[in-house]
Amino acid sequence: QKEVEQDPGPLSVPEGAIVSLNCTYSNSAFQYFMWYRQYSRKGPELLMYTYSSGNKEDGRFTAQVDKSSKYISLFIRDSQPSDSATYLCATDTGGFKTIFGAGTRLFVKA
Amino acid sequence: DGGITQSPKYLFRKEGQNVTLSCEQNLNHDAMYWYRQDPGQGLRLIYYSQIVNDFQKGDIAEGYSVSREKKESFPLTVTSAQKNPTAFYLCATYRENTGELFFGEGSRLTVL
């Protein structure tokens, strides 16, 4: 079993839709939870970062962590074609080693 | 501009040849990483270095080698022992106080 599971998609939605991206993880020692966004042929960049259970909002993006069920979510409101990218969930124990999910490819159609 | 520079961006190699990918950073971060990315598999850790002159194997180190002689530089050599080297390679640094990884633009290696 992988430590972080993520459906690779692809996920295709119309412009303006609400997008829900999800991951599960197996190790309860994980403390930090991140979402990275990766455009085609580029390196990933950090999009959202959370430490505890609950929600964190940044503009159209909301990251949600449920430690009791080991579930990580990213919601994108009013999705735009420029949101088309691969979204990678990630987690670590604070010890220099980040573990990534497989990444979900998202396509937002105009 | 602060950041991470990877070169070359694209590289073609014949089977049996070693190739070295360059990674240079000016972010003054101690820790540096090499990841491999294949379609549908996310990022897999090859090697990492927390400090100069020290490095550790990641999850898929076989067929790869690294060195860390300077804080700014962490080159990766893909040796002929790597059975399936065609992939997208990403170098990253780690900012300790936030746990954030900063990535270069990647190097795409194709073995002919």
Instruction: Determine contact, residues A106/A38, Cβ cutoff 8 Å.
Output: no
| Whether the predicted pLDDT of A94 surpasses 70 | no
| Whether the predicted pLDDT of A11 surpasses 90 | yes
State whether A100 and B43 contact (CB < 8 Å).
Answer: yes
* Residue pointed to by tokens 């180190």: B61
What pLDDT digit, counting tens, does each position of A26-50 carry?
988 888 899 999 999 899 999 998 8
Number of alpha carbons in the 13 Å side-chain half-sphere of residue A18:
6
B101 to chain A nearest CA, in Å? Answer: 7
State whether B105 and A44 contact (CB < 8 Å).
Answer: no
What pLDDT digit, counting tens, does each position of A48-69 carry?
988 878 889 999 999 999 989 9
The predicted model gives A61-86 an average pLDDT of: 95
CA–CA distance, A108 with B16 (Å, rounded to integer): 42
> If pLDDT is split at 50, 70 and 90, which confidence band does B1 have?
low
- Provide the percentage of residues in chain B whose pLDDT is more than 90: 82
What would the two tokens of residue B61 be? 């180190």
CA–CA distance, A58 with B90 (Å, rounded to integer): 27
Strands B19-25 and B4-7: antiparallel
The predicted model gives A66-75 an average pLDDT of: 93
Select from A6, A8, A45 the Cβ nearest to the Cβ of B103: A45
Select from B4, B48, B99 the Cβ nearest to the Cβ of A32: B99
How confident is the model at residue B22, as a pLDDT? 98
Higher pLDDT, A98 or B41: A98
